[in-house]
Amino acid sequence: MKRLFLATAIWLVSLPALSANLLMVEQPGCIYCAKWNAEISHIYPKTDEGRRAPLLRVDLHDLPEDIDFASRPVFTPTFVLVEDGKELGRMEGYAGDEFFWFILGKLLDDNEIEAGTDP
């Protein structure tokens, strides 16, 4: 576990400065999380949306303390758009790929989130 944490920390430090992230709040046994993983997870980092808001996964029962959530997530999956530790918007649940991409695109556009660039 320590190796995984260290590897993740090193990887995060090496990333270019990004303005936003998409947090995926999930929990073990979540069938809709599994459906999202099967349909979207492998392509998400390769998309414009994935470059604009790289995905960070968090456990529903172990939420990061440095994120200012508008309200505590209750459902999984919940996708929270975060910039500088503050929630900008969210979508709860996963109803399929078309709905996911539509709502995510709207969230990103409404908040004027552009792709991150190297400093």
Contact 22, 104 (CB under 8 A): yes
Q: Once rounded to an integer, what is the mean pLDDT over residues 81-98?
A: 97
Tokens of 71: 């309200």
User: For residue 116, what pLDDT is reported?
Assistant: 64
* 8 in any annotated domain: no
Tokens of 93: 């649940």
Q: What mean pLDDT, rounded, does the chain reach? A: 88
Cβ atoms within 10 Å, residue 92:
13
Measured between alpha carbons, how far is 72 from 15 in angstroms, rounded to an integer? 28
Apex 5 CA angle, 38 and 68, nearest 5: 75
Contact 24, 119 (CB under 8 A): no
Task: Please tell me the total count of domains within the chain.
Answer: 1
* 63 in any annotated domain: yes
> 6 pLDDT exceeds 60?
no
Residues spanned by the domain of 38:
18-110
* 116 in any annotated domain: no
Lowest mean pLDDT among 11-15, 21-25, 51-55: 11-15
User: For residue 90, what pLDDT is reported?
Assistant: 98
Cβ neighbours of residue 53 closer than 8 Å, sequence gap 6 or more: 20, 21, 22, 81, 104, 108, 113
The most distant pair of C-alpha atoms in the chain lies apart, rounded to whole Å, by: 39
User: For residue 45, what pLDDT is reported?
Assistant: 97
* 38 in any annotated domain: yes
* Predicted TM-score (pTM) above 0.95: no
* 29 in any annotated domain: yes
* 88 in any annotated domain: yes
- % residues pLDDT > 70 (the chain): 82
* 115 in any annotated domain: no
Measured between alpha carbons, how far is 37 from 10 in angstroms, rounded to an integer? 24
Lowest mean pLDDT among 6-10, 50-54, 59-63, 91-95: 6-10
> 10 pLDDT exceeds 80?
no
User: For residue 15, what pLDDT is reported?
Assistant: 47
Domain CATH number, residue 44: 3.40.30.10
